[in-house]
Structure 1
Amino acid sequence: MELKAKRSTSIKALLVEDIEVCRLVLSTILLALNCEVTLAVNGKEAVELFLEGKKFDIILLDKDMPIMTGPEAVVKIRAMGEGDVKIVGVSADDHAMEAFMNAGADAFVPKPMRRAVLIPIIQEIINKKKNAMV
């Protein structure tokens, strides 16, 4: 499912979260930051989107999901050669940061995620895209 912000920054975000209320909260934050949001409910769906040729600027992944966990999805996505996409692990689990970083994620944000934490990450991606266009 894709959600579009009123004013798009052209930042394409993939939100991978199995809990509906968490998907709602995180997608609301991303939309408020003018991102185009695609939703997936587990790591397998995220990997399948890449196999279909979809491209994203940032992926936010929960750790513990059915079928395929966030860190498992990170390993598979990185193995496909997706080195440019910013992957951010998101979890309330105390040991999640280590699991995500060992899998190849770029950053980790503990739940509950706050907009103030996500703003600099999105801004970094916007700046990187602007510099790539110059």
Structure 2
Amino acid sequence: MASNAQGSHMKALLVEDAAVETLFHSAILHMFHCETTVAKTGKEAVDLFLEGKKFDIVLCEKEMPVMNGLEAVEKIRAIGETDVKIVGVSVDCNAMEAFMSAGADVFVPKPITLDVLSAIIQEIINKKNNAMV
């Protein structure tokens, strides 16, 4: 598998059921050369991991049909996915504690700003580059 010379090629999973949010977050992730997969429910996200897919970052909305973001985060962690950076996102500013209890690494209230997402992605890129040294 060929890797990007800068080491910034990342795989992102966007777990979001709202079309506008999906477009916005996908555009930001694309700016960082992230290969983005979209899941419209928490169940779709969990199924991707169960199929053996690997991601560097997961942006997971709290409120979704079928399986919400909190349940998805718990299940992703329960199947042994500990290396992926999971970012819980919600308009509910009180969701931080719930996401952290579920196993998320970070909580970001919506709307997510470019600066906030940029800092998180840069941290992952730096970690990946340091792991390659």
Same fold (TM over 0.5): yes
The question of whether the paired residues in 1 share the 8 Å contact of 2:7 and 2:125 is answered with no
Which whole-Å deviations, capped at 9, do the CAs of 1:44-91 have from their partners, x for residues lacking one?
000000011000000000000000011100000000110000000011
CA displacement at 1:8 relative to structure 2: 8.6
Could you list the runs of 5+ residues in structure 2 that have no partner in the other structure?
A: 1-5
Query: Structure 1-normalised TM-score?
Result: 0.92
- C-alpha distance in structure 2 between counterparts of 1:8 and 1:60, whole Å: 20
Alignment of 1:17-96 (within 5 A): 17-96=16-95
Q: Which moved more, 1:120-129 or 1:93-102?
A: 93-102
TM superposition outliers: structure 1 runs of 4+ over 4 Å: none
- C-alpha distance in structure 2 between counterparts of 1:8 and 1:110, whole Å: 28
In structure 1, the residue matched to 2:3 is none
In structure 2, the residue matched to 1:97 is 96
Q: Sequence identity of aligned pairs in percent? A: 66
3-state SS, counterpart of residue 101 of structure 1: helix
- C-alpha distance in structure 2 between counterparts of 1:96 and 1:119, whole Å: 21
Question: Which letter maps to 2:30?
Answer: L
In structure 1, the residue matched to 2:109 is 110
- C-alpha distance in structure 1 between counterparts of 2:57 and 2:41, whole Å: 16
CA RMSD of aligned residues (A): 1.3
Question: Which letter maps to 1:13?
Answer: A
Question: Which letter maps to 1:28?
Answer: A
- C-alpha distance in structure 2 between counterparts of 1:33 and 1:96, whole Å: 27
The question of whether the paired residues in 2 share the 8 Å contact of 1:16 and 1:62 is answered with yes
- C-alpha distance in structure 2 between counterparts of 1:130 and 1:89, whole Å: 24
Could you list the runs of 5+ residues in structure 1 that have no partner in the other structure?
A: 1-6
3-state SS, counterpart of residue 15 of structure 1: strand
